[in-house]
Homo-oligomer: A and B are copies of this chain.
Amino acid sequence: MSKQAGLPVTRLPMVGQDTVCCVPMVREPLGEADAAGLSRMFKALSDPVRLRLLSLIASHEGGEACVCDLTGPFDVSQPTISHHLKVLREAGLVGSERRGTWVYYWVLPEALAKLSDLLRAPAAPAEVPA
């Protein structure tokens, strides 16, 4: 327990937000450092509750939602929701801010776009090796 100053709020260290940008991973091999950073973001997406949380936040009116809007639709406890939100925040996928009594979360579109571009595939299997 080292940090307890209310809330880290908004900008966090993020992971590898600037290590790799838009090069699809299907074109050239990922470096170890890039893979480490990216895997942390994908790990944040590897839980069904977090996936639904993210989608719920993003599709919420105004592009943001307070925690009170997010605890309802799930069967898990409020501390668990809070934990998942923290994971999403530390992965650089969402931002957060306290406004009065409530804490609001929103999606960071750059992060999603980065992952989306990375996974972008030639779609058409027009390779046909030999």
Bound together, the chains give a CA A36 to CA B119 distance in angstroms of: 19
Bound together, the chains give a CA A39 to CA B49 distance in angstroms of: 9
Instruction: Give the oligomeric copy count.
Output: 2
A116: which B residues are within 8 A, CB to CB? 116-121
Chain B residue, CB-CB nearest to A119: B116
Answer whether A62 and B129 are a contact pair too, CB < 8 Å, given A42-B51, A119-B112, A120-B116. yes
Determine whether A76 belongs to the interface, using a CB cutoff of 8 Å to chain B.
Answer: no
Would you list 13 pairs from A and B whose C-beta atoms are within 8 A, ordered by A residue?
Answer: A26-B58, A27-B59, A28-B59, A29-B55, A30-B55, A35-B49, A35-B51, A36-B48, A39-B46, A39-B50, A40-B46, A45-B45, A46-B46
